[in-house]
């Protein structure tokens, strides 16, 4: 019979902090009636609590990552959709056509690097059985964006887990393309250098074109 492996746990600092708080309240019961005063007094005794970037208990980073639906994410999503359309024209079923080999997409490195960005935004996903193959699929969120619907402008993540999407701030692909187009044209009019001109990549974008294809996808509420 194998010996049960012993498990150890890091103690952390939460209980010492609790004891300090209890001691402060015992010494001054009025603190129990004033949350802000108790908080400031506790921070004065435990300086680690003032560091918002790290957990006072375990030291873990507390920074929230915000991933915005930007131009490059929109270009990446559009490039994937065009490949799905091409696959459908070859006679593939939608399920198979919606498996896109990302490394083969005709996009710049700057755009292709946004695959993870689009994943965080919920526009694309990779099935577990396709891990490491380079094949990704457009999600119902992605098809919503392609067919012109307004989608959350950003998603928030902490420790690799999504903690929420924008509730009131929304964007559309057409809106992002329009902003880029106007900025480029304004720079050209002022004879300024244009480092990245993506107008040609979305010149023929028409939200209505993707409505029929999106109809294959179950749109989750």
pLDDT over 60 at 22, yes or no: yes
As a whole number, mean pLDDT of residues 45-50 equals 80
Question: What is the C-alpha to C-alpha distance for residues 85 and 176, in angstroms, rounded to an integer?
Answer: 22
Cβ neighbours of residue 199 closer than 8 Å, sequence gap 6 or more: 180, 181, 184
The residue among 128, 130, 118, 133 whose CA lies nearest residue 81 is: 118
pLDDT score, position 219: 43
- The model's pTM is 0.77
Tell me the C-alpha distance between 58 and 78, whole Å: 42
- Which residues partner with 205 through β-bridges? none
Q: Which of 14-18, 23-27, 107-111, 147-151 has the lowest mean pLDDT?
A: 14-18
Provide the pLDDT confidence category of residue 149 given band limits of 50, 70 and 90: very high
Q: How many residues would you count in the chain?
A: 221
Give the residue among 150, 162, 93, 95 at the shortest CA–CA distance from 122.
Answer: 162
Q: Which two tokens stand for residue 166?
A: 């924008």
20-24, 114-118, 185-189: segment of lowest average pLDDT: 20-24
Query: What does the block give as tokens for 135?
Result: 């094949």
Structure tokens given for 146? 């392609």
Cβ atoms within 10 Å of 172's Cβ, excluding its own = 20
User: Domains of the chain: which residue ranges?
Assistant: 14-63, 69-214
């Amino acid at each position: 019979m194998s010996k049960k492996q012993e498990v150890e746990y890091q103690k952390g600092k939460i209980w010492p902090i609790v004891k300090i708080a209890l001691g402060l309240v015992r010494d001054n019961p009025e603190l129990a009636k004033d949350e802000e005063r108790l908080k400031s007094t506790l921070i004065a005794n435990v300086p680690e609590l003032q560091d918002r970037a790290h957990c006072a208990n375990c030291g873990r980073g507390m920074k929230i990552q915000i991933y915005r639906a930007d131009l490059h994410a929109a270009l990446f999503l559009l490039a994937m959709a065009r490949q799905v359309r091409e696959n459908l024209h070859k006679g593939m079923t939608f399920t198979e056509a919606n498996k896109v080999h990302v490394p083969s997409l005709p996009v710049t490195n700057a755009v292709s690097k946004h695959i993870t960005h689009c994943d965080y935004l919920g526009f694309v996903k990779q099935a577990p059985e396709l891990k490491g193959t380079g094949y990704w699929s457009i999600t119902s969120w992605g098809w919503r964006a392609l067919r012109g619907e307004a989608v959350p402008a950003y998603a928030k993540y902490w420790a690799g887990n999504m903690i929420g999407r924008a509730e009131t701030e929304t964007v559309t692909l057409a809106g992002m393309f329009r902003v880029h187009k106007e900025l480029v044209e304004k720079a050209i009019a002022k004879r300024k250098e244009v480092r990245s001109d993506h107008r040609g990549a979305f010149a023929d974008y028409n939200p209505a074109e993707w409505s029929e294809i999106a109809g294959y996808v179950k749109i989750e509420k």
